[in-house]
Amino acid sequence: MSNSAASRGRPLSPHLTIYRWTPTMAMSIVHRATGIALYAGTLLVAWWLVAAAGPASWFDTARWAIGSWLGILVLVGFSWATWHHLLGGLRHFLWDTGVGMEKPTSTLLAWLTLAGSLLLTAVTWAVFLIWF
């Protein structure tokens, strides 16, 4: 039997199960996901603003929803997504200037993006809880 192209296995197209996950890859995917989450969070902010401009019962409903444990969890997630997306955008901006493209540096920036977003979220909520 000949070893023609038809009898050989076709090469696999690259996909997520082929590649070994790296911090840079994961943070890039999370950057996109936080961008999508920020759209949903912005709709919640718009809902809150409409409720604030409307009758008192609308605002009471919004305050109840935002003050519930699920609402607070969503707000913490929204603030984390905001910080993470901001830091990820700064990381991409550095790359656009040609800085930090070396593998060790880009991996360090990915870890710093994650750590920085978690730290800034904690600081944000600590300030909020102390102030209010």
Cα(18)–Cα(14) distance, integer angstroms? 6
For the stretch 101-120, pLDDT in tens is: 999 999 999 999 999 999 99
Distance CA 88, CA 9 (A): 39
End-to-end CA distance of the chain: 79
Query: In the 3-class helix/strand/coil scheme, how is 11-54 assigned residue by residue?
Result: CCCCCCCCCCCCHHHHHHHHHHHHHHHHHHHHHHHHHHHHHHHC
pLDDT reported for residue 132? 85
In tens, the pLDDT along 51-88 reads: 999 999 999 999 999 999 999 999 999 999 999 999 99
CB 65 within 8 A of CB 15: no
How many other C-beta atoms lie within 10 A of the C-beta of residue 62?
A: 19
* CA dihedral of residues 113, 20, 14, 35 (deg, nearest 10): -20
pLDDT band at 7 (very low <50, low <70, confident <90, very high): low
